[in-house]
């Protein structure tokens, strides 16, 4: 994996990827601007989550070139993807974000603990630190997972529908946390079905049938998507 330019945090050239013998993404070529928010939109099954999986390093590309300007992207899955019976607290969940730096069995330093505390504060869940993750609402669990990502101190944040199924206040809290990350130089790539949220991004990618259908200014890309949805 090679480095990107100063203006691009991610560059894909001819990317194809999928699962087993099923190819989901087909020859995707795109550049993601550094220190900006990029929204990824498109119908179900269009390859949005597969794209994030490739960037996170959990899916191996079948073909093409992937250039990422960081070694440790922070990947935030949907809260419903985390087993509800995990016997861990919120603090322990967020502290796992330091494993990339310390290892799973190393004791956290004072600096690590301070970073965990700062991540909890940034996502507004300091008062939930001692609670079991399983006892939280969906919005609270999602913020705990986001705090875990912040604790990694990565400059590339990947989010797979972080506000799906959440109440309006939780959606606003997560949107504010994303804006705060971007304002501090973090590149954010998030998959969303919320076109209003996508319209507030700096950059937008539209995937359809595993191919890049449009990219660029969100208003232009979303207009293209709306036109595709309109009956003939």
Other beta carbons less than 10 A from residue 216's beta carbon: 12
Strands 203-208 and 8-19 come out as unpaired
Helices and strands of the chain, counted as H and E runs: 8, 9
pTM (whole model) above 0.85: yes
Structure confidence at residue 166 (pLDDT): 79
Domains and CATH numbers, the chain: 35-57+71-229 (3.40.50.300)
Q: With beta carbons less than 8 A apart as the criterion, state whether 167 and 198 touch.
A: no
Query: How much is the pLDDT for 21?
Result: 82
pLDDT at 24: 95
Q: How far apart are CA 224 and CA 115, in angstroms?
A: 41
Which residues have a Cβ under 8 Å from the Cβ of 106 and sit 6 or more positions away? none
Helix, strand or coil, per DSSP, at residue 4:
coil
pLDDT, mean of each 10-residue run, the chain (232 residues): 70 94 94 96 93 94 92 82 76 89 76 94 92 89 91 93 81 86 93 90 96 94 74 46
Per-residue confidence (pLDDT) for residue 16, from 0 to 100? 97
Q: What is the pLDDT of residue 228?
A: 65
How does 62-90 read in b/e, with b if 16+ C-beta sit within 10 Å? bebebbbbbeebbbbbbbeebeeeeeebb
């Amino acid at each position: 994996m090679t480095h990107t330019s100063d203006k691009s945090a991610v560059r894909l050239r001819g990317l194809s990827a999928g699962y087993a013998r099923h190819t989901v993404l087909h020859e995707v070529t795109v550049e993601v601007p550094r220190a900006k928010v990029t929204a990824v939109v498109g119908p179900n099954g269009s390859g949005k989550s597969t794209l994030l999986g490739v960037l996170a390093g959990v899916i191996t590309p079948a073909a093409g070139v992937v250039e990422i300007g960081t070694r440790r992207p922070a990947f935030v899955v949907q809260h419903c993807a985390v087993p509800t019976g995990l016997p861990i607290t919120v603090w322990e969940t967020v502290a796992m974000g330091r494993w990339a730096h310390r290892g799973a069995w190393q004791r956290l330093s004072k600096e690590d603990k301070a970073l965990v505390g700062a991540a909890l504060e940034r996502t507004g869940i300091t008062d939930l630190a001692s609670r079991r993750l399983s006892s939280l609402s969906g919005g609270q669990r999602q913020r705990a997972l986001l705090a875990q990502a912040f604790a990694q101190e990565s400059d590339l944040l990947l989010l797979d529908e972080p506000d799906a199924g959440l109440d309006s206040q939780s959606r606003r809290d997560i949107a504010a946390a994303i804006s705060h990350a971007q304002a501090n130089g973090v590149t954010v790539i998030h998959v969303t079905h919320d076109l209003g949220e996508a319209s507030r991004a700096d950059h937008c990618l539209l995937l359809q049938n595993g191919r890049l259908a449009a990219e660029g200014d969100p208003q232009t890309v979303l207009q293209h998507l709306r036109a595709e949805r309109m009956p003939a």
